[in-house]
Structure 1
């Protein structure tokens, strides 16, 4: 078993983030976890005395992020694995979304990951090692109608992460974009937000994509989290992330989840076919 590591995981209060924290702790690692709701990890702090540090942080607050990362480093003496997991899905046609809705999506899913990465990098550089895992999605490869803001945030996450990987490779730091498929979390419930001002023109689109002509209200969205899911358990994703950080030469992109490989393949095939309409373009040979 590898030497014990220290993880810094955002959005660890529930779903995938909590699964990552539980799996890391179960094998003897230490975890610094950010949450939005006080007390949600009290059971873990009680079960793993001294191995868990919990920080109430909104990742859109750059100052708070830097303070939490600094406190975690002071507490444990090093940081080994940074998991940028905090995020949510904003649903709504581009025309329907307000400025506030778009900015909140980008602030959380993209800028939050940038702030955490910036805060952690000086420590990782100093120790000459570290692994930043960006929790991405198959939606960072393709697009889905009504998920344009979410797709934009995740495509941008991968854009900056690719550049970051080149910038820090010489310091012994790895960066991986974990492109996840569907998992049985509350992402489609309380972690999903819907456009506040739906337009009638998109009723047909909503019916086709969501199976309903309108958007659910906040209470209905939260209730959706209680519906039994047919997706894989978050434990499957957690096991994949553990294997990823154990790999001495991890990939820059890792596809995780049942059906995720097919989704990525389909999205890339669509893009290839679109480029192929240009007679001057030749798709690179394998």
Structure 2
């Protein structure tokens, strides 16, 4: 009988992460699931077993992440697929958000991801196999949403580091994929997953309208099913040559096409100046 792969999933207590963990266990994979509060995972799925290891991890603490990876190896004997899913949305214009608010979003969305990669790669590199999924967002390639600049910046960073990672690790037989989810019907837009600026500036009317549209109108009406999203990730993990970039969800191609049109339009309009610097 084939030994099922071991998945390490961060941000596993809700949303796409929880849907993925449940789908993996249904398909007899072995799963390490991390969260800030392991009791929420235990209540939702169950206690530690031969197929499931819930861990309470502070992703911003490199030593805590290192310990979690070590516990995972001790429990299952291997790691095969890493899913850096943990993150949250920080709403607020660049002027409104404090240095503390901006850095906190980067700490989880970017540096938490780097901590996992840094500590998982020695095992993946040694076994000459593995796959790392880094969850970005449609906001990781198209950031024309007023009031979402810091969040989008974190997701652009995730996309950029994954592109480099894919090149760095391919000689070891390890794959990397950046996933750009669109709007999935999860609790991402709830008050527990999205933070608003502590000191809002009333003049930013467009940002407030965007904020309210997401929190009041889009929340609960997202067009994509997280369980189906989880199935896609499992399918991609089986591919011999998986994509480095994976659009995930209905509507994501429209965001991509819009960004490409904008860049091409600007490039064509200002081409004479672009090439005017040649020696």
Q: What TM-score do you get using the length of structure 2 for normalisation? A: 0.91
Q: 1:243 aligns to what? A: 235
Q: 2:106 aligns to what? A: 106
1:262 partnered with 2:262? no
Q: 2:134 aligns to what? A: 134
> Which secondary structure does the structure 1 equivalent of 2:183 belong to?
coil
Q: 1:218 aligns to what? A: none
> Which secondary structure does the structure 1 equivalent of 2:200 belong to?
coil
Whole-Å Cα distance in 2 between the matches of residues 125 and 23 of structure 1?
27
Whole-Å Cα distance in 1 between the matches of residues 184 and 3 of structure 2?
29
Whole-Å Cα distance in 2 between the matches of residues 67 and 150 of structure 1?
28
Deviations 1:229-285 (A, max 9, x none): 343221011011011101110000010101111111111221221222222569xxx
| Offset, 1:154 | 0.7
Which range is displaced more, 229-238 or 174-183?
Answer: 229-238
Whole-Å Cα distance in 2 between the matches of residues 277 and 112 of structure 1?
40
Q: Is the 8 A contact 1:2 1:246 kept in 2?
A: no
| Offset, 1:204 | 4.1
| Offset, 1:3 | 4.6
Whole-Å Cα distance in 2 between the matches of residues 80 and 123 of structure 1?
9
Whole-Å Cα distance in 1 between the matches of residues 2 and 271 of structure 2?
51
Q: 1:201 aligns to what? A: 203
> Which secondary structure does the structure 2 equivalent of 1:151 belong to?
helix
> Which secondary structure does the structure 2 equivalent of 1:39 belong to?
helix
Deviations 1:35-76 (A, max 9, x none): 112311224235x84211111012111111111011101110
| Offset, 1:181 | 0.3
Whole-Å Cα distance in 2 between the matches of residues 2 and 142 of structure 1?
41
Which runs of 5 or more residues in structure 2 are unaligned?
none
Q: Is the 8 A contact 2:146 2:206 kept in 1?
A: no
Q: Is the 8 A contact 1:141 1:268 kept in 2?
A: no
- CA 1:28/1:54 → structure 2, altered by over 3 Å: closer, same or farther? same
Q: Which residue among 240, 243, 268 is the counterpart of 1:276?
A: 268
1:168 partnered with 2:169? yes
- CA 1:2/1:150 → structure 2, altered by over 3 Å: closer, same or farther? farther
> Which secondary structure does the structure 1 equivalent of 2:72 belong to?
helix
1:118 partnered with 2:118? yes
Q: What TM-score do you get using the length of structure 1 for normalisation? A: 0.89
Whole-Å Cα distance in 2 between the matches of residues 181 and 148 of structure 1?
17
Q: Is the 8 A contact 1:142 1:268 kept in 2?
A: no
Whole-Å Cα distance in 1 between the matches of residues 67 and 212 of structure 2?
43
> Which secondary structure does the structure 2 equivalent of 1:60 belong to?
coil
Q: What do you get for the CA RMSD once the two structures are aligned?
A: 2.2
Q: Is the 8 A contact 1:45 1:53 kept in 2?
A: no
- CA 1:28/1:258 → structure 2, altered by over 3 Å: closer, same or farther? same
Q: 1:57 aligns to what? A: 57
- CA 1:274/1:3 → structure 2, altered by over 3 Å: closer, same or farther? farther
Counterparts of residues 14-163 of structure 1 (less than 5 Å)? 14-42=14-42, 43-46=44-47, 49-143=49-143, 144-163=145-164
Q: Which runs of 4+ in 1 moved over 3 A?
A: none
